[in-house]
Amino acid sequence: MHRRNLGFALITSSFLILTMTLIVCAQAQKPPLTNQDVVKMVKAGLSESIVVTTIQENACNYDTSPNGLIALQKAGVTSKEMNAMMSRQQGSAGGEAATDASGGNSAPTDGARWEMPSVTFLQNAGPKPLKMEKTNLAETKQKPRSLASLAGDSEATQGIQAGVNDATWDAASHSHSWAAGTGILQGGGILNGALGRRQPTVTYVWGVPGPASANVLQTSTPKFSVNFAKAPGVNPSEFAPEIVKLTPTQNNCRLVGATQGKEDARSREAADWEIFSSFVEDRVGVSSQSTAPGQYEVSPQSPLLPGEYAVVLRPVSKNEKFSGGDVARAQGPGLMFDVLWSFQVADTAK
């Protein structure tokens, strides 16, 4: 009986080893991406950020010759997607961290994991991580002359105040996987005001629910460490941290910023929305020092008055274009507009 059990155990172990070997071999034999694969993704309507991330995460065998690039452009592949292809091809060939065409660092190479952006308050008692918060996006007919003028707009503030599925957000914001980052807004989504008669352009207003931040600081000159080096689907060289003053409303929410866009901007996959070119926000002057790509230390240039503020991530270029679909789903570059880290400077702050 003992010999029979031993033989059965050996057979079982051999079967498990064989199964694992087959799995590993199948993974190792996964074909590298080619130009044709990228064109298929583009033709299928996948958003730019998803295509770029897929390029960055998979082995490749691209044709990046002049003729190859011309063919890609004719097929509708964007410059960012082609930059990602060239960076990935260079990284695969040289075995080093890839750089994009402008010289900035691209996404992590194989073996590195995605990490959601983070902000830490640097204090004498020790660093204190701040919780990442999701903004809500509402629409209104009123033009974005200032956040103060929008604070009394019921269309915008009611949509922002409606809130978001906190369980979904908490799970995603603490995850290190790109897949979680792509679905952050599934429980919240964009909340529309009652627009009535449809207009060709509307004002999009970003805000955060709640009358005040839970992070109450006793200093008027706070210093923060910001890290978005491995943000999913984001080129860290294209963004930088800023501090903005939040505008409280009578409906218990705080406005972050606003801009105009086409009425269907949130459903468009093409990266053609210049969100930041005319963005309205109350920015605070900051002293910012980059310690590594996507890593900064930032502080206000002068003491802050008591009130509500937030650390945000903004494009370096005012002319940066975004996919409205990315903004709606808080994925890729759109994620950078949809998150913040709020704090309150107390009346007793020194």
Average pLDDT for the chain:
78
How far apart are the C-alpha atoms of 28 and 103, rounded to whole Å?
A: 31
Query: Do 158 and 50 reside in the same domain of the chain?
Result: no
**Mean pLDDT of the region 141-149:** 89
More confident: 101 or 171: 171
- Please tell me the least confidently modeled range out of 91-100, 151-160, 234-243, 295-304: 91-100
Q: How far apart are CA 297 and CA 291, in angstroms?
A: 7
Per residue, the 3-state secondary structure of 20-53, as one string, reads: HHHHHHHHHCCCCECHHHHHHHHHCCCCHHHHHH
Q: Does residue 180 surpass a pLDDT of 50?
A: no
Residue 80 pLDDT: 81
Structural domain that includes position 147: 118-345
Q: Is residue 111 in some structural domain?
A: no
Instruction: Provide the pLDDT confidence category of residue 192 given band limits of 50, 70 and 90.
Output: very low
Nearest to 137 by CA among 155, 112, 118, 125: 155
| 319: in domain | yes
pLDDT at residue 17, rounded to an integer: 52
The model's pLDDT over 198-239, given as tens digits with 9 standing for 90+, comes to 548 889 999 998 889 999 999 999 999 999 998 888 889 999
The 10s digit of each residue's pLDDT in 14-33 is 555 555 554 445 445 678 89
Judge if 274 and 207 occupy the same domain.
yes
Q: How far is CA 225 from CA 256, 299, 339, in A?
A: 21, 9, 16
Structurally, how many domains does the chain consist of?
A: 2
Quick one: 258 exposed, middle or buried, by C-beta within 10 A (0-12, 13-18, 19+)?
A: buried
Q: What is the pLDDT of residues 107-118, one digit of tens each?
A: 444 444 678 999
> Count of residues for the chain?
350
| Whether residues 175 and 305 fall in one domain | yes
299 and 338 belong to one structural domain: yes
Does any domain span residue 30? no
Higher pLDDT, 186 or 159: 159
Q: Based on the fold, state whether residues 41 and 77 are members of the same structural domain.
A: yes
99 vs 340, which has greater pLDDT?
A: 340
What pLDDT score was predicted for residue 20?
A: 52
The last residue of one of the domains, among 78, 94, 110, is 94
Percent of the chain with pLDDT over 90: 38
Q: What is the mean pLDDT of residues 141-158?
A: 84
Does the pTM surpass 0.85? The reply is no
- Quick check: 49 and 79 in contact, CB under 8 A? no
